[in-house]
Structure 1
Amino acid sequence: MIKSCVTIALVPQIKTGPWIFWEDLEAGMAKAAKLGFDAIELFTASPDAISIPRLKELLEKYKLKLAAVGTGAGKVIHGLTLTDPDSEIRKKAISFISDMIDFGAALGAPAIIGSMQGNVLPESNREETMSWLAEGLNKLGKHAESNQVILIYEPLNRYETNLLNTLEAGSNFLDTLETKSVKLLADLFHMNIEEGNPEESILNWGKNIGHVHFADSNRRPMGFGHTSMKPIAEALNTIGYSDYASAEAFPYPDPDAAAEQTIAEFRKWFR
């Protein structure tokens, strides 16, 4: 059974980003629990932004799971990516993500690599850049495996990265890796831009999907854009997807209304 999830961000530098709840972790968790969400996806500035015992205590208090942890602060705050031409920056990026893997794994949750994947820069060679990405994912995938979790890699749209933009491209790249512990994030917002047929891509490459971002075509909560959700929901059910559909969406028109809209749409398609 697919499980519901809502995002909570605790990083002031990304306040304009697509996250439903902000700043107050417990208040966000309380609202998520009241609405009936199964889990939260958490974005923190660092692995030690909140203690693991405290987070575990709150999860138990509100009967929620930790679905995943984001790593975007590594780029937003520290300027780190896995494909930077500077080898020292790449090492720091791997170290930051490794620490986030440890943080999430303590509560059974994977880390997500989105913006920290980086780009092929104008002065860089694509083949070399992709080798850096492969090197980083191989190291991090093995680290995740040693922590008994997977690692989530997110194909982003062309306006955010020029590395891998579709589930097909992501799947083909994963096939070249030594590690088998990296899975893909099917973000419905990015897929609306890059996939000619999102449901067909899910059916074709579903074996590699480890997480879903549940947001509409305009990055608002599902139901506020033009995504054709019925065939997508059918495709996810057909492949037997049973992990999280997480609302990485703008808090439109406000966080509470966005959360209510999300859980209503989730129940419409997955319950």
Structure 2
Amino acid sequence: MKSAITVSLVPEARGGPFVFWDDLPAACRSARALGFDAIELFPPGSDAVDTADLKALLDDTGLSLAAVGTGAGWVKHKLTLTTADQEAHARAMKFVERMIDFAAVFDAPVIIGSMQGRAADPAGHATTMGYLAEALLNLGLHANQYGLPVLYEPLNRYETNLVNRLDDGVRLVGGLASANVKLLADLYHMNIEEADLPAALRAAGPHVGHVHFADSNRRAAGAGHTDFGPIVAALKDVGYAGYLSAEVLPLPDSHAAAKQTIESFRRYAGS
């Protein structure tokens, strides 16, 4: 497994669970100095970062791009993939497709989290899930041209009423006509929704394509009560060899959160 740290360039997401903010070169230098393998980037749009500049920065620091988040589609542009408004849905799809095109330059997948939206009422849940499945299928097909998956993230009940647990996520992505959508297992959300985190990861098995390495309180791993030993053992058991990426609050500050993360990564997954 490899380590990654989050970098947000989205002012509207201020206060959210991202370790580094705003200054991408400084974030990459800090990540390199601490020994991370990669960054996970959350830009406001596909044209917010020049690809040549980012490539030069990653080459200079020896980092990879682990994944690209699409959360700005919701927090900045108020777009969701499950709206019934056809024009708004088309804008949301185009936003993610352009993110896929951008991320593909760096051989990185995109994440669908907050852009999944939510059902307006219980009666509309099945219809909304249908919209989500269709969007994921088409985005997976778009990403397939680059040989990359799309990462779909189940969120806790306070953030969506669509898919909250990994087993529901497996049913969703397993029912798609394309196998090009993987699950993002976020340990913070799982701490809220799962009775047994290691068992949930083992059951999801090969569907897991990315992991957010966060503690129970959404702080850096080791700053809460999550037991990471059995979790990492479960990931090893299912053959997971991707990133453990810290989407966590920058507390007490960005450097301390990053340092705590890499120390926990080395303790549990470094061997």
TM-score (norm 1): 0.98
Q: 1:180 is paired with a residue of what secondary structure?
A: coil
Q: 2:157 is paired with a residue of what secondary structure?
A: coil
Query: Matches of residues 32-111 of structure 1 in structure 2 within 5 Å?
Result: 32-111=31-110
Q: Do the aligned residues in 2 keep the contact of 1:33 with 1:62 (CA within 8 Å)?
A: yes
**Cα shift readout 1:219-238 (whole Å, capped 9, x = no counterpart):** 00011111011110110111
Q: Do the aligned residues in 2 keep the contact of 1:145 with 1:181 (CA within 8 Å)?
A: yes
**Cα shift readout 1:215-256 (whole Å, capped 9, x = no counterpart):** 100000011111011110110111111000000000010000
CA shift at 1:43, angstroms? 0.4
Query: Matches of residues 79-228 of structure 1 in structure 2 within 5 Å?
Result: 79-122=78-121, 125-228=124-227
Report the identity percentage: 51
* RMSD, aligned CA: 0.9
Counterpart residue identity of residue 78, structure 2: G
CA shift at 1:95, angstroms? 0.6
CA distance in 2 between partners of 1:179 and 1:57 (Å): 34
**Cα shift readout 1:149-201 (whole Å, capped 9, x = no counterpart):** 11000000000000001110000111211111000000000000001100001
CA distance in 1 between partners of 2:126 and 2:240 (Å): 33
CA distance in 1 between partners of 2:174 and 2:106 (Å): 28
Match of 2:245 in 1: 246
Match of 1:23 in 2: 22
CA distance in 2 between partners of 1:22 and 1:88 (Å): 32
CA shift at 1:123, angstroms? 8.1
CA distance in 2 between partners of 1:124 and 1:179 (Å): 28
CA shift at 1:64, angstroms? 0.2
CA distance in 2 between partners of 1:183 and 1:153 (Å): 6
CA shift at 1:124, angstroms? 6.0
| Further displaced range: 121-130 or 81-90 | 121-130
CA distance in 2 between partners of 1:125 and 1:141 (Å): 24
CA distance in 1 between partners of 2:234 and 2:263 (Å): 20
CA distance in 1 between partners of 2:201 and 2:100 (Å): 26
4+ aligned runs moved over 6 Å, structure 1: none
Gaps of 5+ in 2: none
CA distance in 2 between partners of 1:129 and 1:168 (Å): 18
CA shift at 1:122, angstroms? 2.5
CA shift at 1:207, angstroms? 1.0
Q: 1:127 is paired with a residue of what secondary structure?
A: helix
CA distance in 2 between partners of 1:124 and 1:135 (Å): 19
CA distance in 1 between partners of 2:39 and 2:61 (Å): 11
| Further displaced range: 157-166 or 120-129 | 120-129
TM-score (norm 2): 0.98
Q: 2:211 is paired with a residue of what secondary structure?
A: strand
Provide the aligned length of Structure 1 versus Structure 2: 270
CA distance in 2 between partners of 1:253 and 1:186 (Å): 25
CA distance in 2 between partners of 1:124 and 1:254 (Å): 43
Match of 1:236 in 2: 235
CA distance in 2 between partners of 1:20 and 1:128 (Å): 36
